Amino acid sequence: MARRCLSIILAAGEGTRMRSSKSKVLHEVAGLAMIRHVVRAAREAGSDAIALVVGRDGTSVAEAARREIGTVAAFEQTERLGTGHAVLAARAAMAEGFDDVLVLFGDTPLIGVGTLARARATLAEGADVCVVGFRPADPTGYGRLIEAGGELLAIREEKDADADERRVGFCNAGVMAFRGDDALAMLDRIGNDNAKGEYYLTDLVAVARAAGRSVRAIEADANEVLGVNTREELAAVEALWQAARRRQVMLAGVTLQDPSSVFLSHDTVLEADVFVEPQVVFGPGVRVASGATIHAFSHMEGCDVGPGASVGPFARLRPGTELAQGAKVGNFCEVKNSEIGAGAKVNHLSYVGDTSVGAAANIGAGTITCNYDGALKHRTEIGAGSFIGSNSALVAPVRVGEGAYVGTGSVVTDDVPDGALAIARERQVTKPGRGREIIERNKAAKAARSATKD
């Protein structure tokens, strides 16, 4: 749109029902703070500027919002005198001059970009105020949107509604858009002649109607305007987000074998023909290329899985992990800040950290890269085509060359040249008959102990 837009996001609520030490808008949905979801929607709806009205934990809320858009302006609402008063806390931002002003809430993380765009389009078509409404399954307790002839006549709170008005199922969602050229003048006309002595943004409808202005309403899906006030509601919103995103990825060509058990993050990227088994968690920052398989009970975060690669079951990929084409990280393995080359295998019960593993290398079961000395992290390099025997420990910094072979059970502290064999363990000693003697001695001791107990 050519029209300039300001989004004012109200995030000053105390959120006491969350029973939390931090602001409720900092609680996460799909790995992203709720306030960032709302800021993202405002930006994608074409907002030129964003004003954040904060209260409790305001510095942290503003910092979170700025991680989404660095230019967010924060305004503190020092007194809690209603939503109309909260919007006017951003008076300085409105005074800069905008065609459209959107008012959003920091605890409605599912708000859709399409809904905000329609609200702005309604202003562009000639409305002075646009109220976003929805149709809940049970409208009890919500303000009703009273319409006639395509105009919104009033927002009637339930306690003030008559019997006919209570039967109206179209309810106020709280989100609003209004023209910016005289927004301040209109907002300043909102009074506080009510039981609580507060200034309610919903009264803008009556103010606008009294001034002969056009007020209209648009309808949003009930799910996208859900607010979060409790941990239970946070879980419900998370479930809605997950269900919608799972459907999107499946329609895009991803197989989720048991969709309800797979958890995605706000930025998870799964390309077509990825196959995901049950009970998989994708933390933030995961990208999985086409043809890869993520086996059951795997947990991934901050990693890049290449085409045709295989992960799990019961694998953990931590930040900085990159799997090249056809690489494999198998069961009960953990990989962190490492590159696993094309066709390389980390199959069983291994930890690979701060390591480069060359193409077609094989890491045997129980191998550990010892990357931490108690103060600093160090790198391990494992060359292409090398073989690391089971139960080996590679003490970083160390390099195992291309085509090298490390014997089972070795503790490698020195570099291994290309093509070399490294055996770093005590030589086996065999004593004939001694094993039988030890077994018999132990059995006798056990029998004697049992006799003593009897």
Structural domain containing residue 48? 5-225
Q: Would 36 be classed as within a structural domain?
A: yes
For position 441, what pLDDT does the model report?
94
For position 287, what pLDDT does the model report?
98
Q: Would 438 be classed as within a structural domain?
A: no
Q: Which residues of the chain fall below pLDDT 50?
A: none
* CATH number assigned to the domain comprising residue 182: 3.90.550.10
For position 264, what pLDDT does the model report?
98
188 and 83 in one domain? yes
235 and 205 in one domain? no
Q: Are 288 and 294 in contact (CB under 8 A)?
A: yes
The last residue of one of the domains, among 208, 225, 242, is 225
* CATH number assigned to the domain comprising residue 313: 2.160.10.10
281 and 136 in one domain? no
For position 426, what pLDDT does the model report?
86
For position 371, what pLDDT does the model report?
96
107 and 12 in one domain? yes
185 and 156 in one domain? yes
245 and 180 in one domain? no
263 and 189 in one domain? no
289 and 414 in one domain? yes
Residues 304-343: b if buried by 16+ CB within 10 A, e if exposed: bbbbbbbbbbbbbbbebbbbbebbbbbbbbbbbbbbbbbb
Q: DSSP for 342-408?
A: TT-EEEES-EEESEEE-TT-EE-TT-EEE-B-SS-B--EEE-TT-EE-TT-EEESSEEE-TT-EE-T
Determine whether 295 is an active site residue: no
Strands (E), 274-359: 275-276, 281-282, 287-288, 293-294, 299-300, 303-305, 310-311, 316-317, 321-323, 328-331, 334-336, 339-340, 345-348, 351-353, 355-357
Q: Which of 27, 299, 348, 378 is catalytic?
A: 348
193 and 246 in one domain? no
For position 203, what pLDDT does the model report?
92
381 and 272 in one domain? yes
Instruction: Give the distance, in angstroms, between the CA of residue 298 and the centroid of all CA atoms in the same chain.
Output: 17
278 and 134 in one domain? no
For position 253, what pLDDT does the model report?
98
Q: Would 337 be classed as within a structural domain?
A: yes
Helix/strand/coil (H/E/C) assignment for every residue in 152-182: EEEEECHHHCCHHHHCCCCEEEEEEEEECCC
Q: Would 302 be classed as within a structural domain?
A: yes
β-pairing, 171-179 with 100-105? antiparallel
For position 192, what pLDDT does the model report?
87
